[in-house]
Every structure is written in structure tokens, then in C-alpha cells.
Amino acid sequence: MSREKLEQLGIRLPMFPTTSVGSFPKPDYLMKARGEFAKKKITRADLDQAERKATEFWIRKQEELGVDVLVDGEMYRGDMVAYFAEKLIGFEEGGLVRSYGNRYYHKPIITGEVRWTSPMTVDWWKYAQSLTSRPVKGMLTGPYTVMDWSFNEHYPDRRATCLALAAPIRQEVEALIQAGAKIIQVDEPACSVRPEELPLIIESMHVVTDGLPAYFISHLCYGAFETIYPGMLDLPVDNFDMEFSNSAFDMLDLFRRHRYTKDISFGVVDVHTHVVEPESVVEERLRRGLEVLPKEAVWVDPDCGLKTRTVDEAIGKMEALVRVAKTFRT
Ligand SMILES: [Zn+2]
């Protein structure tokens, strides 16, 4: 359990801390503003204003719901890889490819040496944190996932590409810490696509996190974890954030066979369904997790980002999980 580490960082959290993975749905006025900006009908400043308004909405909403560790909701992001590719030097925008479901994104192309020149997320983090006294997570996409979801035309192989990306991502982590962030999430949803590359994911995460004073979470999303567990426990982060509700709790069997040793952000609501789960269902899910996991290690959150749900569904799901976490505390 890394509660000690959090306390050293000055963060006190209740049992079963509640959080969310990162993204919330964009309100209608922001979707409209994004469309108008794309057609050059409004300025970047107008879009920025809509993004700030939506960020404030989600910060207030999370506070109202009683969430413990907040996120900015990613109102300024389109895609989790393209956003960073647009900000870093060395990338060009590629053609549209399908990511999941019916969503498409511009798969970035690495055409030169990747470099960090200025903070990519720090202003948003600062703005979100200025609106609340609760901790707000810094959020980045990890080097392995950026590598896997981009085309590479510059580096000799996947390893060189991944490690070249790790350095600028560490610079962003350092900038977040400098700004005051204490909990930083480095997402690696691609972590299980090639099990033989697990050592590379671990090596690159060392580059990103080693020696830095922050509590690190990695959202691993879903995947063939049976192919990389228990080896993945060597990733140098404090907390894995994983899907459980939509994957029939398969991971729990793995944890039974080989003890799980980190904190865990345990997904108790499914982000792929419009149905807002009743509290009894959420309770049952958390109870199943606690049959295997020590209660001190468990954070409570949704399976994944809620950006594909409606605003009301996202609020409903967060409300249910916060209520259940509170019940379990007593
Ligand atoms: Zn996910």
C-alpha cells in the first residue's frame, strides 16, 4: 500500500478513495464550439473559453458528488495520442484510422526527432486545480502507447521510438510536479498488445517516473493481461487502473494465483453501456474485488474514461460509485 507515500506528499485520502479515469463527456456547447472552430467560424480563444467553462463544470460536479481525486475531464483533448503528437516536435498528422467502435482519429506520424519544447497539459492542470482544494490528477499518455498508436518513419525500431518518447514525457511529468501536481496518471492502454515487449514498457516507465516525487497511476484499460501478469507488477507506478466490470472480473483469478502488490483503481462501472448501474450492482462488484484485494489498496472508479457516455449517464455512474464507496467506508 502506498498510502504512506501519499501522506508524505501531503495527501490524505479516505478508505476507498474515489476517482475517475480521466475523460468526461463534452457538453453540447463544447461539441458545437469544436465543430465551429474546425470550420473556422470561431477563434481559438472562443474555443478555449468553452473548454474552460466545461472544465469548471466538471470540477464543480465532481466536488458536488464527493469524488476524492479529481480530473480535469480532458475537455481540450480530441484523442489521447493525437493531442500529445500535436504538441510535441517531430510529429505530423496522419490520415484517419479507426480506433474503437465507430471512432476515428488521425494516426500521427513520427517524421523527426521527438522533442518537448513547452508544457502540454500544465496550464489545464493548473486551471482545474485552481478551482478546487481537492487533489487533481495530472494526466498523460505513456510512451509505449504513443509509440504503438503512431506510425514511425524516423527511428530504427519500436524500442528506439518508445525510449525517444519517454524522455519528453518525463519532461512533462517534471513540469506537472513543478506546478504542484502530486498524483500523476500515465496511461498505457496498449500495454498488452505485444506481451514480449513488456520489458520495454517497464524500461520506458522507469525513464518517465524514476526518482520523481509523485504518486503514479497507470490506466491500463483492458487487454490480454493474462499474457503479462504478474510481470506487469514491475512497472514502476503505485497504482494500476483497470477495467473489471466489462471484463467479467477475469483479472481477479490471476490475482488469486499470484498476489497483486500495488494499489488498484478498481473499475466498478461499465463505460460501454448507457445503463446507469444500480448501487446494488456496483456494491456486488466491489465486494468481489475485496474477496481478493486488501481493502487498503483499493480505489474506486469507472472502468475507463466516460467520454462516450452522455453527461447525465456519466454523472449517474459517478454518483453510484461514490455512494457505494462511502457505504463501504462505514
Ligand atoms: Zn480505458
Residue-wise pLDDT for 292-309, tens only, equals: 999 999 999 999 999 999
CA distance 330 to 326: 7
CA of 223 from ligand 1 middle (Å) equals 10
Separation of CA 78 and ligand 1 centre (Å): 15
CA of residue 243 to ligand 1 center, whole Å: 7
Cα-to-centroid distance, 183 and ligand 1 (Å): 18
Q: Give all strands of the β-sheet with 138-141 in edge-to-edge order.
A: 138-141, 183-187, 215-221, 239-242, 263-269, 298-302
DSSP track, 36-100: HHHTTSS-HHHHHHHHHHHHHHHHHHHHHHT-SSB--BTTT-SSTTHHHHHHSEEEE---EEE-S
Task: Show the cell assigned to 184.
Answer: 500523476
CA of 234 relative to ligand 1 center, distance in Å: 20
Residue 240 CA to ligand 1 center (angstroms) comes to: 11
How confident is the model at residue 184, as a pLDDT?
A: 98
pLDDT of residue 249: 83
Give distance in angstroms: CA of 297 to centre of ligand 1: 20
Cα(42) to centroid of ligand 1, in Å?
A: 32
CA 304 – ligand 1 centroid, Å: 4
Once rounded to an integer, what is the mean pLDDT over residues 234-262? 93
**Residues linked to residue 184 through DSSP beta bridges, in sequence order:** 138, 216
CA quadruple 326, 327, 329, 330: dihedral, nearest 10: 130
Three-state DSSP at 156 gives coil
220 CA from centroid of ligand 1 (Å) = 7
pLDDT in tens, 260-279: 999 999 999 999 999 999 99
DSSP 8-state code for residue 136:
B
Percent of the chain with pLDDT over 90: 92
User: How far away, in angstroms, is 6 Cα from ligand 1 center?
Assistant: 24
CA pair distance 35, 159, nearest whole angstrom: 37
Distance, CA 179 to ligand 1 centroid (Å)? Answer: 26
Q: How far is the CA of 45 from the centre of ligand 1 (A)?
A: 30
Q: What is the pTM of this model?
A: 0.96
What would the pLDDT profile of 39-62 be if each residue is shown by its tens digit? Answer: 999 999 999 999 999 999 999 999
**How many angstroms separate the alpha carbon of residue 41 from the centre of ligand 1?**
33
Please give the distance, rounded to the nearest whole angstrom, from the Cα atom of residue 271 to the centre of ligand 1: 9
pLDDT of 288: 96
Across-strand partners of 298? Answer: 264
Fill in the amino acid letter for 214. A
**3-class secondary-structure state, position 117:** coil
Residue 98: what pLDDT? 83
d(CA 245, CA 285): 7
Cα-to-centroid distance, 159 and ligand 1 (Å): 23
pLDDT score of 100: 66
Residue 47 Cα to ligand 1 midpoint, Å, equals 26
- Measured in Å, residue 188 CA sits from the centre of ligand 1 at 9
User: What does the pLDDT look like over 175-220, one tens digit per residue?
Assistant: 999 999 999 999 999 999 999 999 999 999 999 999 999 999 999 9
Question: CA–CA separation, 144 vs 138, rounded Å?
Answer: 18
> Is the Cβ–Cβ distance between 121 and 140 less than 8 Å?
yes
Average pLDDT, the chain: 96
Cα of 290 vs centre of ligand 1, distance in Å, is 21
C-alpha 43 – ligand 1 centre gap (Å): 31
Distance 157 CA to ligand 1 centre (A): 26
244 pLDDT higher than 70? yes
- Condensed to tens digits (0 to 9), the pLDDT of residues 109-158 reads 999 999 999 999 999 999 999 999 999 999 999 999 999 999 999 999 99
For 69-111, what is each residue's pLDDT tens digit? 999 999 999 889 999 999 999 999 988 888 766 678 889 999 9
